[in-house]
Structure 1
Amino acid sequence: MLTCRILSLLMACVSLICLLMALVTDYWLVVYGGKDIAHSGLWKTCIAGRCFAPTAPYDYIVATRAFLILASLAALASSVSLSASFTQCTLYNVRGSFIGSITAFAAGLCTLIAVAVYVAESWENSDSSIQQTYEWSFYLAWAAFPMLLMAGIFSLLLHLRSPAPGYGNI
């Protein structure tokens, strides 16, 4: 059971770091064209070495930001509750491993929605001389998704296999 507890906490913390890195960096999409290279993220776009924040971002960018922020908050809650599961503390007969499992699954769902919205709306290339590729910030968000699922599974296994809190354990 200690292995499940450690693995779930490790996966939740690493996925939180991946989500935060993906959220703040600006290498989601890189465009190679003629003479210039441009890269963009959720907060700013850089073209030929000059970066700017769009005054009115597209709706899919706003939706991706919102779901990644929600995913980051849920992953933080999962990490905190899984850290608390190392103690024998229960809150209203609910253990930290169960709360960690629920919040990890919620973070995974929010991450999946954010990345799916970004993929569905960002790929518009009508010019054949321009090459667009997803870059490492995008892949960090994708990498967080299976880690959050594994953190949820490990903490759910921990919750199901540990004895129920009650007076008999005192």
Structure 2
Amino acid sequence: MEPCRVLALCTSVLALTCLLVALSTDYWYLVIGAHFTAHSGIWSKDPSESVRGSVRVTQGFGVVAALWGVVAVVFLGMSYIPALSAPGRGPIVSCFTAFAAALSTVVALAVYTSMRWSQPTHAQIQSLFSWSFYVGWTSTVLFLITGSLSLGAHFRAHQTSYDNM
């Protein structure tokens, strides 16, 4: 088995898991006051509550990144089954989709970051990003590693040598 392809599959599953955890939890932002603590995510619990446009952008790009991540995992998984995959095409498709997932996640998190930084601050209240937000950034790094490893697996699979000729 090729080490790049095995590592790419492991990192893609881990990246997708991190992204799904980040998207599904509501610890993106934490507010600590003198006598209270509150946290919020990107999904509103009250359907009648209006949501800012920047949060909608974060939601949209997060979902798109998750879909790209699913495609990357599926194509890497299919590359192990010769009957389901064109020879050598699984890793390159996974490479492009992992980089697309990383880019979509960066856009989602950058929009969310800019929205939160532009909010007014109060002297008695401490506001900070929480663990779900950082898990989202972790998934971005893992998607970049997945894309790089998939690219390495693609080039290793297409090396020609005198033994093959």
Normalising by structure 2, report the TM-score: 0.89
Out of 130-139 and 94-103, give the one that drifted further: 94-103
Residue 22 of structure 1 is matched in structure 2 by 22
- Structure 1 runs (4+) greater than 6 angstroms displaced: none
| Alignment partners' CA distance in 2, 1:96 and 1:61 | 34
Structure 1: gaps of 5 or more residues: 45-50
SS of the equivalent of 1:56 reads: coil
Residue 6 of structure 1 is matched in structure 2 by 6
* 1:118-157 CA-partner distances (Å, limit 9, x unpaired): 1011122321111011111001100001100010000011
| Alignment partners' CA distance in 1, 2:47 and 2:25 | 13
Structure 2: gaps of 5 or more residues: none
Matched residue count: 158
Structure 2 counterparts to residues 15-164 of structure 1, below 5 A: 15-44=15-44, 52=46, 55-88=49-82, 89-91=84-86, 95-123=89-117, 124-163=119-158
SS of the equivalent of 1:129 reads: coil
CA drift at 1:94 = 6.3
Amino acid in structure 2 at the alignment position of 1:20? L
- What RMSD, in angstroms, separates the aligned Cα atoms of the two structures? 1.8
Amino acid in structure 1 at the alignment position of 2:15? S
Identity %: 36
* 1:51-106 CA-partner distances (Å, limit 9, x unpaired): 64561101111000000100000000000000011133544x76111110010000
